[in-house]
């Protein structure tokens, strides 16, 4: 999937009215399922999940504010952002402008944009509209209606597991609960799908688990129901705003020095304008559920624009024009590089650790002579040997030496072939293990 194809696919997903439950999520999972074989799960309303309970299912068909002449001045059919997500049903009725006013949400500083608002766990209703629309509400009375249902149903999420040579897994998670917003939500889904399509039909070294779940309650439901999977998850990422033209950036895991943190640092060091890594903080997306003390899954977050910090965030301006094919494509490329690196990473154990082994006797200088970049490979051999104490991994060598990853990996292969080195999967041992 190149950037253009990703954006075209996002255009199909954009009109769907997603929320944390409901048919919009199901339709989204169905469209993801056209691209990759997705296993869909439903968790009934009322099910206890960790400290939470799956809420009633929300579905909406129509909503409006009509003026005295019967004209729809705010119309759900024109934008699904016009209704506060999880609004309780409102039967058609006339109300005064003063009574309507507290139920309206607009952005005075951005008079043409519609804000995105939710009320998942309150029994509330509301309309979101542009400031211009709001200023034009000069009638004394309006007819309003929200044709929605909040009823026992289910929460939906989808999963794809791709088995690799190792049981150890990379978790790739994207939230699927935002309505017609493109960067916050759909870009992450598209980049995840692109990676899944790339890995499907191959036998990767590590296994992959792709999770498409509504934010917070979806991740919590998944954590509650898949505890058996937890010990196998060695690396993870939430994919969030990845289609805008802000530089790529990475938010670290709670530990801050997991292999995913170090792999990301190495890959983003090759991005001319990447931001320095953001230390973990307990807000943002579902990385905060995965990293919680009871799970401590090493899950970082990969993004461009940072949530809440770009003006278009959670507004109608986060639309198709806001995301760019080349940005989506570069995000997907860098993600693939990070996963390649995690798959190739290994903890290094020298079989001749006392002093420097005699490389010439083993023909390693001849091997170096055949390389297109002998200097770099010869140095890489020494770096790898120096790090091969059973505590360090290939990512450490590449990060400390500044030698390109492929050269470091080749050096390790050659040393192994000569019986000087063992490579152990999974990279550097985690603290305490
Ligand atoms: Zn959001």
DSSP helix, strand, coil percent of the chain (3-state; round to 5): 35, 25, 40
- Each residue of 139-162: pLDDT tens digit? 999 999 999 999 999 999 999 999
CA of 305 from ligand 1 middle (Å) equals 12
- CA 72 / ligand 1 centre spacing (Å): 28
- Using the structure block, give the residue that is written with the tokens 């309650």: 217
Q: In this structure, are residues 420 and 354 in contact, taking their beta carbons and an 8 Å threshold?
A: no
CA 389 / ligand 1 centre spacing (Å): 44
249 neighbors 304 (Cβ within 8 angstroms): yes
Instruction: Give distance in angstroms: CA of 136 to centre of ligand 1.
Output: 29
- Superfamily in which the 3-55+154-343 domain is placed by CATH: Zn peptidases (3.40.630.10)
CA of 311 to the centre of ligand 1 (A): 13
Query: 134 C-alpha vs ligand 1 centroid, how far in Å?
Result: 24
Q: Please say whether the beta carbons of 394 and 361 come within 8 A.
A: no
Cα of 338 vs centre of ligand 1, distance in Å, is 24
Q: Of 149, 160, 99, nearest to 127 (Cα)?
A: 99
Q: Flag whether pLDDT at 374 surpasses 80.
A: no
**167 C-alpha to center of ligand 1: Å?**
32
CA distance 338 to 170: 11
Distance 319 CA to ligand 1 centre (A): 13
d(CA 295, CA 283): 16
pTM higher than the cut 0.75: yes
pLDDT in tens, 300-309: 999 999 999 9
Assess whether pLDDT exceeds 70 at residue 229. yes
Instruction: State residue 364's pLDDT score.
Output: 85
Tell me the CA–centroid distance for residue 404 and ligand 1, in Å: 36
Q: Residue 155: beta bridge partners?
A: 43
What is the whole-number distance in angstroms between the Cα of residue 127 and the centre of ligand 1? 18
Distance (Å, whole) CA 80 – CA 287: 27
**From the CA of 4, how far away is ligand 1's center (Å)?**
23
Give me the residue spans of the domains in the chain. Answer: 3-55+154-343, 57-151, 347-424
Region 285-305: what's the mean pLDDT?
98
- Is the domain spanning 347-424 CATH 1.10.10.10? The answer is yes
Given the candidates 3.40.50.300, 3.40.50.970, 1.10.10.10, 3.50.30.90, the CATH classification of the domain at 57-151 is 3.50.30.90
* Cα angle 322-324-330, degrees, rounded to a multiple of 5: 135
In tens, the pLDDT along 243-258 reads 999 999 999 999 999 9
Write out pLDDT tens, residues 8-59: 999 999 999 999 999 999 999 999 999 999 999 999 999 999 999 999 999 9
pLDDT reading at 372 higher than 90: no
Q: How far is the CA of 212 from the centre of ligand 1 (A)?
A: 14
Asked if residue 371 has pLDDT above 70, the reply is no
Convert the pLDDT of each residue in 192-219 to its tens digit: 999 999 999 999 999 999 999 999 999 9
Sign of CA pseudo-dihedral 126, 130, 131, 137: negative
What spacing in Å lies between the alpha carbon of 369 and ligand 1's midpoint? Answer: 54
Mean pLDDT of the region 306-332:
97
Selection from 248, 235, 238 nearest residue 216 by Cα: 238
């Amino acid at each position: 999937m190149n950037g253009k194809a990703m954006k075209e696919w996002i255009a199909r997903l954009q009109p769907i009215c997603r929320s944390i439950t409901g048919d919009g999520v199901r339709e989204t999972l169905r469209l993801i399922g056209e691209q990759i074989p997705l296993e869909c799960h439903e968790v009934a309303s009322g099910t206890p999940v960790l400290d939470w309970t799956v809420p009633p299912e929300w579905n909406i068909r129509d909503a409006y504010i009509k003026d005295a002449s019967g004209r729809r001045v705010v119309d759900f059919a024109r934008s699904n952002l016009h209704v506060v997500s999880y609004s309780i049903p409102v039967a058609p009725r006339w109300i005064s402008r003063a009574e309507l006013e507290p139920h309206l949400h607009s952005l005075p500083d951005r008079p043409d944009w519609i804000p995105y608002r939710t009320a998942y766990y309150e029994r509330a209703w509301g309309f979101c509209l542009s400031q211009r629309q709001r200023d034009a509400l000069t009638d004394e009375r309006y007819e309003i209606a929200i044709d929605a249902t909040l009823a026992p149903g289910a929460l939906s999420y989808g999963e794809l597991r791709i088995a690799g040579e190792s049981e150890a897994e990379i978790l790739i998670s994207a939230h699927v609960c935002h309505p017609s917003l493109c960067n916050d939500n759909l870009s992450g889904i598209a980049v995840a799908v692109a990676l899944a399509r790339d890995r499907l039909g191959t036998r990767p070294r590590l296994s992959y688990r792709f999770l498409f779940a509504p934010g917070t309650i979806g991740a919590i439901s998944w954590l509650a129901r898949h505890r058996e999977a937890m010990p196998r998850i060695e690396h993870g990422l939430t994919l969030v705003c990845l289609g805008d033209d802000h530089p790529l950036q990475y938010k670290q895991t709670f530990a801050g020095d997991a292999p995913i943190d170090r792999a990301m640092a190495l890959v983003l060091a090759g991005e001319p304008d990447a931001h320095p890594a953001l230390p973990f903080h307990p807000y943002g997306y579902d990385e905060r559920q995965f990293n919680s003390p009871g799970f401590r899954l090493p899950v970082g977050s990969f993004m461009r624009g940072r949530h809440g910090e770009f003006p278009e965030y959670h507004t109608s301006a986060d639309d198709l024009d806001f995301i760019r094919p080349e940005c989506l494509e570069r995000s997907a490329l860098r993600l693939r590089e990070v996963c390649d690196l995690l798959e190739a990473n290994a903890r290094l154990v020298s079989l001749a650790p006392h002093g420097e082994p005699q490389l010439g006797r083993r023909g390693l200088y001849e091997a170096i002579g055949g390389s297109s970049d002998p200097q770099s490979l010869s140095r890489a051999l020494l770096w790898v040997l120096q790090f091969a104490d059973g505590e360090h991994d290939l990512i450490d060598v590449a990060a400390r030496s500044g030698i390109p990853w492929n050269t470091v990996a080749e050096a390790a292969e050659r040393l192994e072939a000569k019986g000087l080195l063992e490579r152990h999967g999974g990279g550097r041992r985690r603290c305490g293990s």
